[in-house]
Structure 1
Amino acid sequence: MSHIEKAEASDVPSLTEAHRVHRVPARRLGNPGPLGLFSFASTTFILSFYNAGVRGVVVPNVVVGMGLGVGGLAQLLAGMWEFAAGNTFGATAFSSYGGFWLSFASLYLPGFGIVDAYNGNESELNSALGIYLITWFLFTFLMLVGSLRRNIGLMALFFTLMTTFMLLAISKFQANENVGKAGGAVGILCALIAYYVGLAELLVREESWFTLPLGTISKRVD
Protein backbone atom coordinates (compact mmCIF):
# COMPACT_ATOMS: atom_id res chain seq x y z
CA MET A 1 0.00 0.00 0.00
CA SER A 2 1.37 3.43 -0.95
CA HIS A 3 1.97 6.18 1.57
CA ILE A 4 -1.00 8.11 0.14
CA GLU A 5 -3.32 5.09 0.50
CA LYS A 6 -2.14 4.57 4.08
CA ALA A 7 -2.82 8.21 4.92
CA GLU A 8 -6.32 8.08 3.41
CA ALA A 9 -7.09 4.89 5.27
CA SER A 10 -5.97 6.44 8.54
CA ASP A 11 -8.37 9.36 7.99
CA VAL A 12 -11.39 7.04 7.81
CA PRO A 13 -12.76 6.31 11.30
CA SER A 14 -12.95 2.70 12.30
CA LEU A 15 -16.28 0.92 12.47
CA THR A 16 -16.16 1.04 16.23
CA GLU A 17 -15.45 4.76 16.30
CA ALA A 18 -18.14 5.52 13.73
CA HIS A 19 -20.82 3.79 15.76
CA ARG A 20 -19.64 4.84 19.17
CA VAL A 21 -22.50 6.28 21.25
CA HIS A 22 -21.61 9.39 23.20
CA ARG A 23 -23.60 8.98 26.43
CA VAL A 24 -24.26 11.81 28.84
CA PRO A 25 -23.29 10.71 32.36
CA ALA A 26 -26.44 9.66 34.23
CA ARG A 27 -27.50 11.97 37.07
CA ARG A 28 -28.49 10.41 40.35
CA LEU A 29 -32.17 10.89 41.17
CA GLY A 30 -32.60 13.08 44.23
CA ASN A 31 -34.57 11.99 47.28
CA PRO A 32 -38.09 13.51 47.13
CA GLY A 33 -38.77 12.47 50.74
CA PRO A 34 -37.74 15.75 52.43
CA LEU A 35 -39.95 17.78 50.06
CA GLY A 36 -42.96 15.62 50.82
CA LEU A 37 -42.34 15.54 54.56
CA PHE A 38 -41.69 19.28 54.91
CA SER A 39 -44.76 20.09 52.79
CA PHE A 40 -46.91 17.82 54.93
CA ALA A 41 -45.41 19.13 58.18
CA SER A 42 -45.85 22.82 57.35
CA THR A 43 -49.48 22.52 56.32
CA THR A 44 -50.35 20.23 59.23
CA PHE A 45 -48.58 22.57 61.65
CA ILE A 46 -50.68 25.56 60.60
CA LEU A 47 -54.02 23.73 60.56
CA SER A 48 -53.31 22.04 63.90
CA PHE A 49 -52.70 25.42 65.54
CA TYR A 50 -56.12 26.50 64.27
CA ASN A 51 -57.74 23.26 65.49
CA ALA A 52 -56.15 23.78 68.91
CA GLY A 53 -57.69 27.26 69.06
CA VAL A 54 -54.36 29.05 69.42
CA ARG A 55 -54.83 32.85 69.58
CA GLY A 56 -58.57 32.41 69.20
CA VAL A 57 -58.49 31.29 65.56
CA VAL A 58 -61.56 29.16 64.80
CA VAL A 59 -61.98 29.69 61.04
CA PRO A 60 -59.27 27.71 59.18
CA ASN A 61 -59.68 29.35 55.76
CA VAL A 62 -56.17 30.85 55.79
CA VAL A 63 -54.77 27.33 55.41
CA VAL A 64 -56.50 26.93 52.02
CA GLY A 65 -53.52 28.36 50.13
CA MET A 66 -51.12 26.07 51.96
CA GLY A 67 -53.42 23.13 51.35
CA LEU A 68 -53.51 23.78 47.62
CA GLY A 69 -49.91 24.78 46.93
CA VAL A 70 -47.78 23.08 49.57
CA GLY A 71 -49.64 20.26 51.27
CA GLY A 72 -51.41 19.44 48.01
CA LEU A 73 -49.35 20.19 44.92
CA ALA A 74 -45.82 19.95 46.34
CA GLN A 75 -46.61 16.73 48.20
CA LEU A 76 -48.31 15.21 45.16
CA LEU A 77 -45.22 15.98 43.07
CA ALA A 78 -43.04 14.36 45.72
CA GLY A 79 -45.24 11.28 45.51
CA MET A 80 -44.84 11.04 41.75
CA TRP A 81 -41.06 11.27 42.08
CA GLU A 82 -41.12 8.55 44.72
CA PHE A 83 -42.67 6.28 42.09
CA ALA A 84 -39.77 7.15 39.78
CA ALA A 85 -37.32 6.36 42.59
CA GLY A 86 -38.94 2.96 43.11
CA ASN A 87 -40.32 3.71 46.57
CA THR A 88 -43.92 2.49 46.46
CA PHE A 89 -44.55 3.20 50.15
CA GLY A 90 -43.39 6.81 49.93
CA ALA A 91 -45.23 7.33 46.65
CA THR A 92 -48.48 6.03 48.12
CA ALA A 93 -48.16 8.14 51.26
CA PHE A 94 -47.20 11.45 49.63
CA SER A 95 -49.62 11.15 46.71
CA SER A 96 -52.52 10.21 48.99
CA TYR A 97 -51.94 12.93 51.56
CA GLY A 98 -51.36 15.40 48.75
CA GLY A 99 -54.84 14.44 47.54
CA PHE A 100 -56.13 14.85 51.08
CA TRP A 101 -54.93 18.42 51.30
CA LEU A 102 -56.33 19.28 47.87
CA SER A 103 -59.71 17.82 48.86
CA PHE A 104 -59.64 19.50 52.28
CA ALA A 105 -58.85 22.90 50.78
CA SER A 106 -61.70 22.51 48.30
CA LEU A 107 -64.17 22.34 51.22
CA TYR A 108 -63.46 25.98 51.96
CA LEU A 109 -63.40 27.32 48.39
CA PRO A 110 -66.60 29.38 47.94
CA GLY A 111 -66.79 28.54 44.25
CA PHE A 112 -67.13 24.85 45.03
CA GLY A 113 -70.10 25.40 47.33
CA ILE A 114 -69.44 22.20 49.30
CA VAL A 115 -70.14 23.57 52.77
CA ASP A 116 -72.94 25.83 51.53
CA ALA A 117 -74.76 22.77 50.15
CA TYR A 118 -75.73 21.84 53.73
CA ASN A 119 -77.79 25.05 54.05
CA GLY A 120 -76.66 25.73 57.59
CA ASN A 121 -77.51 22.23 58.86
CA GLU A 122 -74.54 22.00 61.20
CA SER A 123 -75.45 18.55 62.52
CA GLU A 124 -75.44 17.00 59.06
CA LEU A 125 -72.27 18.86 58.09
CA ASN A 126 -70.46 17.60 61.21
CA SER A 127 -71.56 14.03 60.47
CA ALA A 128 -70.31 14.34 56.90
CA LEU A 129 -66.97 15.75 58.05
CA GLY A 130 -66.72 13.03 60.68
CA ILE A 131 -67.12 10.33 58.02
CA TYR A 132 -64.53 12.14 55.88
CA LEU A 133 -62.04 12.24 58.76
CA ILE A 134 -62.64 8.67 59.93
CA THR A 135 -61.88 7.48 56.39
CA TRP A 136 -58.47 9.12 56.60
CA PHE A 137 -58.03 7.60 60.04
CA LEU A 138 -58.48 4.14 58.49
CA PHE A 139 -56.08 4.92 55.64
CA THR A 140 -53.47 6.21 58.08
CA PHE A 141 -53.82 3.04 60.16
CA LEU A 142 -52.93 1.04 57.03
CA MET A 143 -49.91 3.28 56.44
CA LEU A 144 -48.88 2.74 60.06
CA VAL A 145 -48.96 -1.01 59.47
CA GLY A 146 -46.80 -0.50 56.37
CA SER A 147 -44.25 1.52 58.37
CA LEU A 148 -43.69 -1.08 61.12
CA ARG A 149 -40.47 -2.46 59.61
CA ARG A 150 -39.03 0.85 58.38
CA ASN A 151 -37.97 3.11 61.23
CA ILE A 152 -39.28 4.45 64.52
CA GLY A 153 -39.55 8.00 63.17
CA LEU A 154 -42.07 7.00 60.51
CA MET A 155 -43.97 4.83 62.98
CA ALA A 156 -44.31 7.78 65.37
CA LEU A 157 -45.39 10.03 62.50
CA PHE A 158 -48.21 7.77 61.34
CA PHE A 159 -49.29 6.93 64.88
CA THR A 160 -49.72 10.58 65.85
CA LEU A 161 -51.39 11.36 62.52
CA MET A 162 -53.80 8.46 63.00
CA THR A 163 -54.60 9.73 66.50
CA THR A 164 -55.14 13.24 65.13
CA PHE A 165 -57.68 12.04 62.56
CA MET A 166 -59.44 9.94 65.19
CA LEU A 167 -59.79 12.83 67.63
CA LEU A 168 -60.96 15.25 64.94
CA ALA A 169 -63.52 12.73 63.71
CA ILE A 170 -64.84 12.21 67.24
CA SER A 171 -65.05 15.96 67.74
CA LYS A 172 -67.29 16.21 64.67
CA PHE A 173 -69.48 13.23 65.54
CA GLN A 174 -69.94 14.43 69.14
CA ALA A 175 -69.81 18.17 68.37
CA ASN A 176 -67.21 18.42 71.11
CA GLU A 177 -64.87 21.36 70.72
CA ASN A 178 -62.46 20.17 73.43
CA VAL A 179 -61.81 16.89 71.62
CA GLY A 180 -61.08 18.91 68.49
CA LYS A 181 -58.56 20.98 70.41
CA ALA A 182 -56.92 17.77 71.65
CA GLY A 183 -56.72 16.65 68.01
CA GLY A 184 -55.05 19.94 67.17
CA ALA A 185 -52.47 19.45 69.94
CA VAL A 186 -51.62 15.94 68.72
CA GLY A 187 -51.49 17.33 65.18
CA ILE A 188 -48.84 19.86 66.24
CA LEU A 189 -46.77 16.99 67.66
CA CYS A 190 -47.27 15.06 64.41
CA ALA A 191 -46.04 18.04 62.38
CA LEU A 192 -42.94 18.39 64.54
CA ILE A 193 -42.16 14.69 64.07
CA ALA A 194 -42.61 15.10 60.30
CA TYR A 195 -40.17 18.04 60.36
CA TYR A 196 -37.65 15.87 62.22
CA VAL A 197 -38.00 12.92 59.84
CA GLY A 198 -37.73 15.23 56.84
CA LEU A 199 -34.59 16.85 58.23
CA ALA A 200 -33.11 13.42 58.98
CA GLU A 201 -33.59 12.44 55.34
CA LEU A 202 -32.20 15.77 54.13
CA LEU A 203 -28.98 15.57 56.15
CA VAL A 204 -27.15 12.89 54.18
CA ARG A 205 -23.74 11.82 55.47
CA GLU A 206 -21.86 12.86 52.31
CA GLU A 207 -23.10 16.48 52.41
CA SER A 208 -23.79 17.35 56.06
CA TRP A 209 -21.81 18.01 59.22
CA PHE A 210 -24.06 15.68 61.18
CA THR A 211 -26.99 13.30 60.73
CA LEU A 212 -30.10 12.56 62.77
CA PRO A 213 -31.13 9.06 63.86
CA LEU A 214 -34.50 7.68 62.82
CA GLY A 215 -34.44 4.55 64.96
CA THR A 216 -33.40 1.73 62.69
CA ILE A 217 -35.43 -1.47 62.83
CA SER A 218 -33.82 -4.76 61.88
CA LYS A 219 -34.87 -6.04 58.47
CA ARG A 220 -36.51 -9.42 57.96
CA VAL A 221 -34.09 -12.20 57.05
CA ASP A 222 -35.61 -14.86 54.79
Structure 2
Amino acid sequence: MSHEEAISVKDTHQSDSTDDYNAGHFGPLAHVNTASSRYPAFGGDLQPGLYRVPKDRKLANPAPLGLCGFALTTFILGCINMQVRGVTDPNIIVGPALAYGGFVQLCAGMWEMAVGNTFGATVLSSYGGFWISLAITFIPGGFNIMGALEKADNGEPTMFYNSFALYLFGWFIFTTLITLLTLKSTVAFFSLFFFVDIAILLLALGYLLQVDGMPNEKLLKAGGLFAILGAFLAWYNAFAGIADNSNSFFLPPVVHFPWSEKKRSSKRATEGEV
Protein backbone atom coordinates (compact mmCIF):
# COMPACT_ATOMS: atom_id res chain seq x y z
CA MET A 1 0.00 0.00 0.00
CA SER A 2 1.38 3.41 -0.96
CA HIS A 3 1.79 6.28 1.48
CA GLU A 4 -1.05 8.19 -0.19
CA GLU A 5 -3.39 5.18 0.09
CA ALA A 6 -2.55 4.75 3.79
CA ILE A 7 -3.40 8.40 4.47
CA SER A 8 -6.67 7.99 2.56
CA VAL A 9 -7.66 4.94 4.63
CA LYS A 10 -6.79 6.79 7.87
CA ASP A 11 -8.88 9.81 6.87
CA THR A 12 -11.80 7.56 5.93
CA HIS A 13 -11.62 5.81 9.34
CA GLN A 14 -11.60 9.12 11.21
CA SER A 15 -14.52 10.37 9.12
CA ASP A 16 -16.51 7.21 9.87
CA SER A 17 -15.80 7.60 13.61
CA THR A 18 -17.01 11.21 13.52
CA ASP A 19 -20.13 10.21 11.63
CA ASP A 20 -20.81 7.43 14.16
CA TYR A 21 -20.60 9.89 17.04
CA ASN A 22 -22.76 12.52 15.35
CA ALA A 23 -25.33 9.85 14.53
CA GLY A 24 -25.48 8.91 18.21
CA HIS A 25 -24.09 5.39 17.76
CA PHE A 26 -21.94 5.81 20.85
CA GLY A 27 -24.90 7.03 22.90
CA PRO A 28 -25.46 10.41 24.58
CA LEU A 29 -23.00 11.34 27.29
CA ALA A 30 -20.69 8.54 26.11
CA HIS A 31 -17.38 8.51 27.97
CA VAL A 32 -14.28 8.89 25.84
CA ASN A 33 -10.59 8.67 26.59
CA THR A 34 -9.51 12.02 25.20
CA ALA A 35 -9.72 14.55 28.02
CA SER A 36 -9.68 17.52 25.64
CA SER A 37 -13.05 16.48 24.20
CA ARG A 38 -14.78 16.22 27.59
CA TYR A 39 -16.59 18.79 29.66
CA PRO A 40 -16.22 19.30 33.43
CA ALA A 41 -18.63 17.90 36.02
CA PHE A 42 -21.98 19.67 36.22
CA GLY A 43 -24.71 19.34 38.84
CA GLY A 44 -27.40 20.51 36.42
CA ASP A 45 -26.86 17.29 34.43
CA LEU A 46 -26.22 15.12 37.52
CA GLN A 47 -22.79 14.35 36.09
CA PRO A 48 -20.09 14.07 38.79
CA GLY A 49 -17.19 13.45 36.40
CA LEU A 50 -15.91 14.38 32.98
CA TYR A 51 -18.38 13.65 30.23
CA ARG A 52 -19.00 14.36 26.59
CA VAL A 53 -22.06 16.38 25.62
CA PRO A 54 -23.89 15.14 22.52
CA LYS A 55 -24.01 17.69 19.71
CA ASP A 56 -27.61 16.89 18.82
CA ARG A 57 -29.42 15.90 22.01
CA LYS A 58 -32.66 14.20 21.02
CA LEU A 59 -33.90 13.86 24.61
CA ALA A 60 -34.37 16.65 27.13
CA ASN A 61 -32.19 16.72 30.24
CA PRO A 62 -34.22 14.83 32.90
CA ALA A 63 -31.93 15.78 35.81
CA PRO A 64 -33.66 19.09 36.76
CA LEU A 65 -37.03 17.34 36.96
CA GLY A 66 -35.66 14.70 39.32
CA LEU A 67 -33.81 17.30 41.38
CA CYS A 68 -36.96 19.40 41.77
CA GLY A 69 -38.97 16.37 42.87
CA PHE A 70 -36.32 15.56 45.45
CA ALA A 71 -36.02 19.18 46.58
CA LEU A 72 -39.68 19.87 47.27
CA THR A 73 -40.30 16.63 49.16
CA THR A 74 -37.10 17.06 51.18
CA PHE A 75 -38.08 20.65 52.00
CA ILE A 76 -41.45 19.51 53.39
CA LEU A 77 -39.83 16.73 55.43
CA GLY A 78 -37.26 19.19 56.82
CA CYS A 79 -39.98 21.63 57.86
CA ILE A 80 -41.92 18.87 59.62
CA ASN A 81 -38.86 17.74 61.56
CA MET A 82 -38.12 21.35 62.53
CA GLN A 83 -41.76 21.68 63.65
CA VAL A 84 -42.33 24.78 61.53
CA ARG A 85 -45.66 26.43 62.46
CA GLY A 86 -46.20 23.67 65.00
CA VAL A 87 -46.53 20.92 62.36
CA THR A 88 -45.31 17.61 63.78
CA ASP A 89 -47.57 15.00 62.12
CA PRO A 90 -45.87 13.53 59.00
CA ASN A 91 -49.12 12.74 57.13
CA ILE A 92 -48.74 15.68 54.72
CA ILE A 93 -45.55 14.10 53.33
CA VAL A 94 -47.48 11.10 51.94
CA GLY A 95 -48.88 12.86 48.86
CA PRO A 96 -45.68 14.57 47.66
CA ALA A 97 -43.59 11.51 48.52
CA LEU A 98 -45.78 9.23 46.41
CA ALA A 99 -46.39 11.55 43.46
CA TYR A 100 -43.57 14.07 43.05
CA GLY A 101 -40.59 12.84 45.04
CA GLY A 102 -41.51 9.24 44.32
CA PHE A 103 -43.16 8.55 40.97
CA VAL A 104 -41.91 11.61 39.06
CA GLN A 105 -38.35 11.25 40.37
CA LEU A 106 -38.37 7.53 39.55
CA CYS A 107 -39.43 8.37 35.98
CA ALA A 108 -36.62 10.93 35.77
CA GLY A 109 -34.18 8.22 36.87
CA MET A 110 -35.40 5.93 34.08
CA TRP A 111 -34.97 8.74 31.55
CA GLU A 112 -31.44 9.33 32.85
CA MET A 113 -30.77 5.71 32.01
CA ALA A 114 -32.07 6.35 28.49
CA VAL A 115 -29.59 9.21 27.94
CA GLY A 116 -26.69 7.13 29.24
CA ASN A 117 -26.11 8.74 32.64
CA THR A 118 -25.46 5.88 35.07
CA PHE A 119 -24.93 8.16 38.07
CA GLY A 120 -28.14 10.13 37.48
CA ALA A 121 -30.15 6.97 36.84
CA THR A 122 -28.94 5.33 40.04
CA VAL A 123 -29.42 8.39 42.24
CA LEU A 124 -32.82 9.56 41.01
CA SER A 125 -34.31 6.05 40.79
CA SER A 126 -33.03 5.17 44.25
CA TYR A 127 -34.36 8.31 45.92
CA GLY A 128 -37.63 7.90 44.04
CA GLY A 129 -37.89 4.50 45.69
CA PHE A 130 -36.92 6.08 49.01
CA TRP A 131 -39.81 8.53 48.92
CA ILE A 132 -42.32 5.91 47.83
CA SER A 133 -41.25 3.58 50.64
CA LEU A 134 -41.37 6.46 53.14
CA ALA A 135 -44.90 7.31 52.03
CA ILE A 136 -45.95 3.67 52.39
CA THR A 137 -44.63 3.71 55.96
CA PHE A 138 -46.68 6.76 56.95
CA ILE A 139 -49.94 6.16 55.01
CA PRO A 140 -52.58 6.49 57.76
CA GLY A 141 -54.18 3.09 58.27
CA GLY A 142 -52.90 1.84 54.92
CA PHE A 143 -50.20 -0.77 55.43
CA ASN A 144 -50.42 -0.40 59.21
CA ILE A 145 -46.64 -0.63 59.58
CA MET A 146 -46.53 1.57 62.66
CA GLY A 147 -49.51 -0.17 64.25
CA ALA A 148 -48.10 -3.66 63.64
CA LEU A 149 -44.75 -2.78 65.22
CA GLU A 150 -46.41 -1.12 68.20
CA LYS A 151 -48.62 -4.19 68.69
CA ALA A 152 -45.54 -6.43 68.61
CA ASP A 153 -43.99 -4.23 71.29
CA ASN A 154 -46.98 -4.34 73.69
CA GLY A 155 -48.37 -1.05 72.42
CA GLU A 156 -45.10 0.85 72.76
CA PRO A 157 -43.63 2.78 69.78
CA THR A 158 -40.03 1.85 70.64
CA MET A 159 -39.78 -0.97 68.10
CA PHE A 160 -41.07 1.30 65.33
CA TYR A 161 -38.56 4.01 66.23
CA ASN A 162 -35.69 1.52 66.22
CA SER A 163 -36.86 -0.04 62.95
CA PHE A 164 -37.19 3.36 61.31
CA ALA A 165 -33.69 4.26 62.52
CA LEU A 166 -32.28 1.13 60.85
CA TYR A 167 -34.14 2.06 57.67
CA LEU A 168 -32.57 5.54 57.70
CA PHE A 169 -29.10 4.15 58.46
CA GLY A 170 -29.35 2.08 55.28
CA TRP A 171 -30.05 5.22 53.29
CA PHE A 172 -27.23 7.00 55.08
CA ILE A 173 -24.80 4.32 53.84
CA PHE A 174 -26.10 4.66 50.28
CA THR A 175 -25.90 8.47 50.36
CA THR A 176 -22.35 8.31 51.73
CA LEU A 177 -21.29 6.18 48.76
CA ILE A 178 -22.93 8.63 46.36
CA THR A 179 -21.32 11.59 48.13
CA LEU A 180 -17.86 10.04 47.65
CA LEU A 181 -18.53 9.97 43.91
CA THR A 182 -19.02 13.75 43.84
CA LEU A 183 -15.65 14.70 45.33
CA LYS A 184 -14.30 15.56 41.89
CA SER A 185 -17.37 17.55 40.88
CA THR A 186 -18.50 21.08 41.76
CA VAL A 187 -18.93 22.59 45.21
CA ALA A 188 -22.73 22.91 44.86
CA PHE A 189 -23.06 19.36 43.54
CA PHE A 190 -21.00 17.85 46.35
CA SER A 191 -22.66 20.03 49.02
CA LEU A 192 -26.10 18.78 47.97
CA PHE A 193 -25.31 15.16 48.78
CA PHE A 194 -23.17 16.07 51.79
CA PHE A 195 -26.00 17.99 53.48
CA VAL A 196 -28.53 15.29 52.64
CA ASP A 197 -26.16 12.67 54.06
CA ILE A 198 -25.81 14.60 57.33
CA ALA A 199 -29.58 15.12 57.48
CA ILE A 200 -30.30 11.39 57.14
CA LEU A 201 -27.65 10.55 59.75
CA LEU A 202 -29.10 13.02 62.27
CA LEU A 203 -32.64 11.77 61.70
CA ALA A 204 -31.50 8.16 62.12
CA LEU A 205 -29.75 9.02 65.38
CA GLY A 206 -32.78 10.99 66.50
CA TYR A 207 -35.00 7.91 66.23
CA LEU A 208 -32.36 5.60 67.68
CA LEU A 209 -31.29 7.70 70.69
CA GLN A 210 -34.71 8.23 72.23
CA VAL A 211 -35.39 10.45 75.21
CA ASP A 212 -38.10 9.28 77.62
CA GLY A 213 -39.39 6.84 74.99
CA MET A 214 -39.67 9.50 72.30
CA PRO A 215 -37.37 10.46 69.39
CA ASN A 216 -34.63 12.93 70.28
CA GLU A 217 -36.20 16.26 69.37
CA LYS A 218 -32.92 18.17 69.11
CA LEU A 219 -31.42 15.66 66.68
CA LEU A 220 -34.59 15.63 64.59
CA LYS A 221 -34.61 19.44 64.37
CA ALA A 222 -30.93 19.46 63.39
CA GLY A 223 -31.66 16.85 60.74
CA GLY A 224 -34.56 18.93 59.49
CA LEU A 225 -32.29 21.97 59.12
CA PHE A 226 -29.78 20.05 57.00
CA ALA A 227 -32.65 18.60 54.96
CA ILE A 228 -33.86 22.12 54.14
CA LEU A 229 -30.33 23.16 53.16
CA GLY A 230 -30.08 20.08 50.94
CA ALA A 231 -33.45 20.93 49.36
CA PHE A 232 -32.31 24.43 48.37
CA LEU A 233 -29.07 23.02 46.95
CA ALA A 234 -31.11 20.56 44.89
CA TRP A 235 -33.19 23.46 43.57
CA TYR A 236 -29.99 25.38 42.82
CA ASN A 237 -28.55 22.52 40.78
CA ALA A 238 -31.90 22.07 39.03
CA PHE A 239 -31.95 25.77 38.11
CA ALA A 240 -28.41 25.48 36.79
CA GLY A 241 -29.55 22.63 34.55
CA ILE A 242 -32.50 24.59 33.13
CA ALA A 243 -31.12 28.12 32.86
CA ASP A 244 -29.43 29.27 29.67
CA ASN A 245 -29.10 32.49 27.70
CA SER A 246 -32.49 31.98 26.10
CA ASN A 247 -34.55 31.98 29.30
CA SER A 248 -32.49 33.64 32.03
CA PHE A 249 -30.73 36.98 32.50
CA PHE A 250 -28.02 35.27 34.56
CA LEU A 251 -26.44 31.84 34.83
CA PRO A 252 -25.61 30.28 38.21
CA PRO A 253 -21.86 30.30 38.88
CA VAL A 254 -20.12 26.93 38.82
CA VAL A 255 -17.39 26.60 41.46
CA HIS A 256 -14.96 23.71 40.97
CA PHE A 257 -12.78 22.14 43.63
CA PRO A 258 -9.03 22.91 43.41
CA TRP A 259 -8.29 19.24 42.69
CA SER A 260 -10.92 18.88 39.95
CA GLU A 261 -9.90 18.39 36.31
CA LYS A 262 -11.47 21.72 35.34
CA LYS A 263 -9.50 23.63 37.98
CA ARG A 264 -6.23 21.87 37.17
CA SER A 265 -6.73 22.53 33.45
CA SER A 266 -7.29 26.23 34.16
CA LYS A 267 -4.17 26.32 36.31
CA ARG A 268 -2.08 24.65 33.59
CA ALA A 269 -3.42 27.14 31.03
CA THR A 270 -2.58 30.08 33.29
CA GLU A 271 0.92 28.81 33.98
CA GLY A 272 1.42 28.28 30.24
CA GLU A 273 0.45 31.87 29.51
CA VAL A 274 2.91 33.12 32.12
In the superposition, the TM-score normalised over structure 2's length comes to 0.68
- Which residue of 207, 214, 218 corresponds with 2:254? 214
Name 1:50's counterpart in structure 2: 80
Matches of 1:79 and 1:104, distance apart in 2: 18
The residue number in structure 1 matching 2:147 is 116
Cα deviations across residues 166-216 of structure 1 (Å, max 9, x unaligned)? 000010011211111111111111111111111011113454332112323
* 2:61 maps to which of 22, 31, 35: 31
Asked whether 1:93 is paired with 2:109, we answer: no
Structure 1 match to 2:165: 130
Q: Would you say the 8 A contact 1:72–1:98 is kept in 2?
A: yes
- Partners of 1:37 and 1:107 in 2: CA distance: 23
Correspondences of 1:186-205 after superposition (within 5 Å): 186-205=226-245
> Relative to structure 1, is the Cα distance of residues 27 and 178 closer, same or farther in structure 2, using a 3 angstrom cutoff?
closer
CA RMSD of aligned residues (A): 1.6
AA of the residue aligned to 2:167: Y
- Given that residues 37 and 198 in structure 1 are in contact (C-alpha distance below 8 angstroms), is that contact kept between their aligned partners in structure 2? yes
Inter-partner Cα distance in structure 1 for 2:168 and 2:57: 41
- Asked whether the equivalents of residues 33 and 78 of structure 1 are also in contact (C-alpha less than 8 Å), the reply is yes
- The residue type paired with residue 177 of structure 2 is L
Match of residue 102 from structure 1 = 132
Larger proportion of helix: 1
- Residue 184 of structure 2: SS of its match in structure 1? coil
Cα offset for 1:27?
Answer: 6.5
Aligned residues: 196
Q: Output the CA distance in 2 between the equivalents of 1:205 and 1:137.
A: 37
Contact 1:148 1:155 in 2 (8 A): yes
Match of 2:101 in 1: 71
CA distance in 1, matches of 2:114, 2:235: 23
Aligned to 2:8: none
| Gapped regions of structure 2 (runs ≥ 5) | 1-55, 211-215, 265-274
Tell me if the contact between 1:45 and 1:191 (Cα under 8 Å) persists in the aligned partners.
yes
Question: Which consecutive aligned stretches of 4+ in structure 1 deviate over 6 angstroms post-superposition?
Answer: none
2: CA distance, partners of 1:188 / 1:30: 28
Which is further off, 145-154 or 156-165? 145-154
Q: What CA distance in whole angstroms lies between the structure 1 residues aligned with 2:93 and 2:254?
A: 29
Distance 1:54 1:177 in 2: 13
Matching residue's letter, 1:219? E
Matches within 5 A, 1:10-21: none
Question: Residue 197 of structure 1 contacts residue 214 of structure 1 at CA under 8 Å; is this kept in 2?
Answer: no
Structure 2 match to 1:160: 195
Name the % identity: 44
Structure 1 or 2, whichever has the larger Rg, is 1
Aligned partners of 1:79 and 1:209: how far apart in 2? 29
Distance (whole Å) between structure 1 residues aligned to residue 253 and residue 106 of structure 2: 26
Q: Deviations over 1:117-149 (max 9, x none)?
A: 112321111110110011111100000011112
Paired letter, 1:117: A
Structure 1 residues 183, 27: CA separation in 2 closer, same or farther (over 3 Å shift)? Answer: closer
Q: In 2, distance between residues paired with 1:74 and 1:90?
A: 14
Question: 2: distance between equivalents of 1:27 and 1:85?
Answer: 9
Question: For residue 142 of structure 1, what is the aligned residue in structure 2?
Answer: 177
TM-score under structure 1 length normalisation: 0.84
1:112 & 1:207 partners in 2: Cα distance?
Answer: 45
